[in-house]
Amino acid sequence: MRVSGYAASSATSALTPFSFERRKSRPDDVVIDILFCGVCHTDLHLARNHGSFTIYPIVPGHEIIGTVRQVGEKVGRFKAGDMVGVGCMVDSCQHCQPCQTGWEQDCTEGATFTYNSTDRHDGAVTYGGYSDSIVVRDKFVVSIPAGLDPAGAAPLLCAGITTWSPLHRWKVGPGSRVAVIGLGGLGHMALKLAKARGASVTLFTRSGGKEKDAFRLGADHVVLSSDPAHMTAVAGRYDLIIDTVPYDHDINPYMPTLALEGVLVLVGYMGPLSTPVNAGGVVRGRRAISGSFIGGVGETQQMLDFCGQHGIVSDVEVIPIQQINQAYERMLKSDVKYRFVIDMASLKS
């Protein structure tokens, strides 16, 4: 199946139109016509080879919303016309302990990711959602609840699940005190989801000027992380801090703001931290530093159903695909309110 999309051909080249072949549909596959695809900071990291493992050409995009065009003969859950979503994964081994637990993202044999990955059956490189259609194993396709705006729902497939998963794991609810570091795509979903779960929510931001938006998105408090007096004023306060910062940064100033047995969970940055962590900040107060990687497929459906019930979608700026390179530049300046989403109809123009 011939597909149109956008790809980067090197770490320094812009994304440009790219035509490629998708695999023939297997009996357990769903063929999806893509309507919208969110723009995650991970797309930028991978397009620019920040992790040194990018396979070029790369077609990014793992916040996919579309309608089912056709299903394989073994697929019972979906039919043509259904509104569906695809997130960061398109396959996994299905038999290891993490897969059996519903944590396909941490499959011990390696999950097959939506792009920049290798198909576990035919060895082909996977291409993502900056394209007009995609073929995905049915188990990795989720249903989009009726009533959710499809463009606004796209970022739920990565930004939504990545922030939902730690909220779920640490049982955040009424009485919980949650803080979020960084108001971007992940950060704004964390505010909305934590608030809807009943928590008291704080935003840590380095950008003065985001306060009004933060309150609208669900924050009860905003703390300017660059102001030591602001930081001291919230000492000992949070049960859970979700750190969405995408680059190397010093986590030490946040540790004293954790309550007894509080947890700082890293979701934004995966490389080495250049400022050593002061062990005293963890030892005293029985605190912990943890991490969280997207979320399982079942958990993603649970999050989508919650969003359906609570009317939660992302705040998006819908762009034509021709503006993707400008969108990356704006994302680097934290100038996103609060997720770019590509309208895939623009591929035809």
Query: Where in 312-331 is the site for Zn ion (CB under 5 A)?
Result: none
CB–CB of 261/236 below 8 Å?
no
Going by C-alpha positions, the residue among 283, 290, 286, 233 that lies closest to residue 259 is 286
Q: Tell the smallest beta-carbon distance from residue 278 to Zn ion (Å).
A: 30
With CB under 6 A as the contact rule, the residue among 51, 216, 247, 284 that binds ligand NAP is 247
Provide CB contacts within 8 A for 77, sequence distance 6+: 138, 141, 143
Residue numbers 154-173 binding Zn ion by CB under 5 A: 158
Cβ-based nearer residue to ligand NAP, 24 or 247: 247
Q: If contact means CB under 5 to 8 A according to the sort of partner, which of Zn ion, ligand NAP, none does residue 107 touch?
A: Zn ion
Residue among 61 and 246 whose Cβ is closer to ligand NAP: 246
Shortest distance, position 246 Cβ to ligand NAP, whole Å? 3
Nearest-approach distance from CB 95 to Zn ion, in angstroms: 6
Tell me if 31 sits within 8 A of 81, measured CB to CB: no
44 touches Zn ion by CB under 5 A: no
87 lies in the site for ligand NAP, by CB under 6 A: no
Contact call for residue 331 and ligand NAP (CB under 6 A): yes
**Of positions 44, 65, 99, 344, contacts Zn ion by CB under 5 A:** 99
Picked from ligand NAP, Zn ion, none, the partner binding residue 129 (CB below 5 to 8 A depending on kind) is none
User: Phi, psi at residue 41, to the nearest 5°?
Assistant: -60, -25
Give the rounded distance of the alpha carbon of 48 from its chain centre.
Answer: 18
Q: Which residues contact 277 (CB under 8 A, 6 or more apart)?
A: 251, 252, 255, 289
Cβ of residue 181: shortest distance to ligand NAP, in angstroms? 7
For position 40 contacting ligand NAP by CB under 6 A, the verdict is yes
> Between residues 129 and 184, which has the closer beta carbon with respect to ligand NAP?
184
Binding window for Zn ion (CB under 5 A); candidates: 4-12, 101-109, 223-231, 312-320: 101-109
Residue 345 DSSP label: G
The two tokens of residue 59 are: 């077609």
String of DSSP letters for 74-120: T--S--TT-EEEE-SEEE--SSSHHHHHT-GGG-TT-PEESSSSB-T
Q: How far is the CB of 324 from ligand NAP (least distance, A)?
A: 14
User: Per-residue string for binding with ligand NAP, 168-187, x by CB under 6 A?
Assistant: --------------xxxxxx
| 219 touches ligand NAP by CB under 6 A | no
Report the interhelical angle of 185-196 vs 159-169 (nearest 10°): 40
Within the chain, where are the H helices? 41-47, 97-101, 150-153, 159-169, 185-196, 211-217, 228-233, 280-283, 297-310, 324-332
Among 112, 126, 176, 205, binds ligand NAP (CB under 6 A): 205
Q: State the CB neighbour count (10 A cutoff) for residue 318.
A: 14
Using alpha carbons, select from 299, 308, 301, 306 the residue that is nearest to residue 169: 299
Match 């969970």 to its residue by tokens.
265
- Binders in 140-159 for ligand NAP, by CB under 6 A: 158-159
Residues of the shown chain interacting with ligand NAP in the complex, contacts defined by CB under 6 A: 40-42, 45, 158-159, 162, 182-187, 205-207, 210, 244-247, 249, 267-269, 292-294, 331, 334, 336
Residues of the shown chain interacting with Zn ion in the complex, contacts defined by CB under 5 A: 40, 42, 92-93, 96, 99, 107, 158
